[in-house]
């Protein structure tokens, strides 16, 4: 199962951690993992490369984990929050469709 954790402080999403493999299908044929990877890649690229937020990204391949942490403040805060809210909503929709393979938490 893939675990998606979104970190919040008050009404602000401060980052996320995505870990694990969904187990929907064998490697290379797992549409759930592929979709999650695409969502995460799009969000990270938009936050850092388009919005210029300079979020810290850590990848631990041995744990199949990626973590993104926003700085305390960024110039494009509204846009960054919109990207993260869209990511959260998209992953929640996936969870509703594939409940045995993805978990989404707000912590």
| DSSP for 6-69, written as a single string | EEEETTEEEEEEEES---SSSTTS-HHHHHHHHHHHHHHHIIIIIS----EEEEEGGGTEEEEE
Across 68-96, average pLDDT: 96
For the whole model, what pTM was predicted? 0.94
Q: Domain locations in the chain? A: 2-106
CATH of 2-106, one of 3.40.50.300, 3.30.70.1490, 3.30.930.10, 3.40.190.10: 3.30.70.1490
Mean pLDDT of the chain: 96
Confidence band for 29, pLDDT divided at 50, 70 and 90: very high
- Categorize the per-residue pLDDT at 63 as very low, low, confident or very high, splitting at 50, 70 and 90: confident
């Amino acid at each position: 199962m893939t675990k998606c954790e979104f970190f919040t402080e008050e009404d602000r999403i401060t980052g996320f951690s995505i870990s694990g493999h969904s187990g929907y299908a064998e490697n290379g044929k797992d549409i759930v993992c592929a979709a999650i990877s695409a969502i995460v890649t799009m969000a990270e690229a938009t936050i850092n490369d388009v919005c210029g937020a300079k979020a810290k990204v850590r990848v631990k391949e041995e744990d199949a984990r990626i973590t993104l942490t926003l700085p305390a403040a960024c110039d494009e805060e509204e846009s960054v929050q919109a990207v993260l809210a869209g990511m959260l909503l998209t992953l929640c929709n996936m969870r509703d469709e594939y409940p045995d393979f993805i978990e989404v938490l707000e912590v």
